[in-house]
Structure 1
C-alpha cells in the first residue's frame, strides 16, 4: 500500500514538473487554459486521481486556478513589485518613491506571551510587556505583505493604547522625536503561510512567503526601538539586495 502511494506521488510530481517546464520555456503562456483532466490522463497514462492531485498541487502554489465549469487556467502574468531589502527608509516610503498605490490596514495590536527569542532581541526580561502590532499592506488593492512590529511597553508606555491606530511605525516614532533609523542585523528566510496568514494575504497554503527579520534602532541614541518580522508574498515581489 505504501509503495502504491509512493508511485502515485512520483507520477504526480512528473506531471507537475512537466507543466512547470512548459511554463518555463513558454510553451504554456500566462492565461492559457490547461488541457482537460481526460487529456492529461491519456497523455501521462495515469489514473484521473493522479492528474487531479497534480493539478491541485499547482493550484496550492498559486500557479494555476480553476474557473467553475470551464476548467483550469495558468495564472495571468503580473508585474512584480520591486522591493529593496536594505536601506534606512520605511516600506511605506519605499513604495511611494517607486510610485506604487500603497494602502495599509492595522489588523491587530496584542500583547504577546513570553517568547525567549523576541524578549532577548528587545533586551526585555520575563514579566515585561511586549506588544505585536500587525499591519497588512496592499498594492493596487491586493494584499502583499504583513508587517509585524514587536515593541516593549517599557520603552513606549502607551504603545498598547496607541498601537491599534498605527499604520507606519516610522511615522509614529517621528511623532515622538525620533528622526533617523538604522538596523544592525537583517535575516532572510522562507516559510509557508498559516491559515490565518492565508486569509489575510488571500493566498494558498503552498505559496511561499519571504520572511525578513530585522531590528530598528534610533540613529542618534542607538536605542533599540523594535524587532520587526515581515512576511512578503513571494509571488508578488522581486527582491533587490544591493547594499546602499
Structure 2
C-alpha cells in the first residue's frame, strides 16, 4: 500500500508542478504536511520527493526546503524537413553553440548497414553537444564512411555542421531516409554532457541523410534530445 501511495504522491506532485500549481522557484509543502495530507509515514513522502529530485524537477536547499527547479523553457521544434538542427535553431531565433565531444571509429552495426559499409571500411562517429541559449539540450552522433570522406578522422573534431561540411564537398541536395523514434535513458557520460539526471528520459531519433542526386547514404545519425527541453511537432519524420 505504501508503494501505491508513493506513486500517487509522485503523480499528483508532477501534475501540480507541470500545470503551474507551484511556480518555478516556488516552495513545495513540507514532508510533515504531505505526510498528513496522504496519511503516510514521512519516509514514504521522502522517497517520492527524492524521486522527483532525481528526475530534475525539484531541488533541495539546505535549511530551507524543496523548491520547483526553474529549468529551461521548452522549444517547439519540428522533426520534419530537410534543414539541419543548426538551421532550425537559427530560424527560431535561438543562440546555438556546438562542441565536438568525440571523433572516433565506430562499431555501430546499424550505422554500418545503413551506410552500406564494406568489411574493410571504417565508420567514423562524430559526437556533437548542442547548447541552446546556454542550456545543453541534445547530442548528435553522426556516422560517416572514411571511404567517402577520407579526411574525416582529421577534420571531424572541427566540424560544427555536417550539412555545411557536405556542401563544401559538392553535396547540396539532401533527402532523409526512414526515421525511428524511441525513448532511452542517459548513460553516465550523457548525464554529464546534458546536465541531467539518470531519470530524465531522452528522445532518440535515428535517421539517415541521403544525397538527393545519387541516393547514396551520406550519414547515419542518432540524436538524443532531452525530453524536458523540447516540444516536438511530428508529421513525416525526417531530419
Q: TM-score, normalised by structure 1?
A: 0.91
Residue 30 of structure 1 deviates from its aligned partner by 3.0
The answer for the alignment partner of 1:216 in structure 2 is 209
The answer for the alignment partner of 2:156 in structure 1 is 163
Give the aligned length: 237
Task: Show structure 2 runs of 5+ residues with no match.
Answer: none
Q: After the TM superposition, which residues 93-104 of structure 1 pair with which residues of structure 2 at under 5 Å, given as runs?
A: 93-104=87-98
1:214–1:227 Cα contact (<8 Å) kept: yes
Given the alignment of the two structures, is residue 79 of structure 1 paired with residue 77 of structure 2, yes or no?
A: no
Given the alignment of the two structures, is residue 133 of structure 1 paired with residue 126 of structure 2, yes or no?
A: yes
Task: Show structure 1 runs of 5+ residues with no match.
Answer: 1-6
Residue 221 of structure 1 deviates from its aligned partner by 2.0
2:142–2:219 Cα contact (<8 Å) kept: yes
Deviations 1:15-67 (A, max 9, x none): 11221233355433333200111222222222222111100111122221222
The answer for the alignment partner of 2:192 in structure 1 is 199
The answer for the alignment partner of 1:36 in structure 2 is 30
The answer for the alignment partner of 1:142 in structure 2 is 135
Given the alignment of the two structures, is residue 234 of structure 1 paired with residue 227 of structure 2, yes or no?
A: yes
Residue 77 of structure 1 deviates from its aligned partner by 6.8
**RMSD between superposed Cα atoms in Å:** 1.8
CA–CA separation in structure 2 for the residues paired with 1:124 and 1:51: 53
1:145 is paired with a residue of what secondary structure? strand
CA–CA separation in structure 1 for the residues paired with 2:18 and 2:58: 14
Residue 69 of structure 1 deviates from its aligned partner by 2.4
The runs of at least 4 consecutive aligned structure 1 residues that moved more than 6 Å come to: none
Residue 177 of structure 1 deviates from its aligned partner by 1.0
CA–CA separation in structure 2 for the residues paired with 1:24 and 1:171: 38
Deviations 1:195-219 (A, max 9, x none): 1100000001111111111100111
Q: TM-score, normalised by structure 2?
A: 0.92
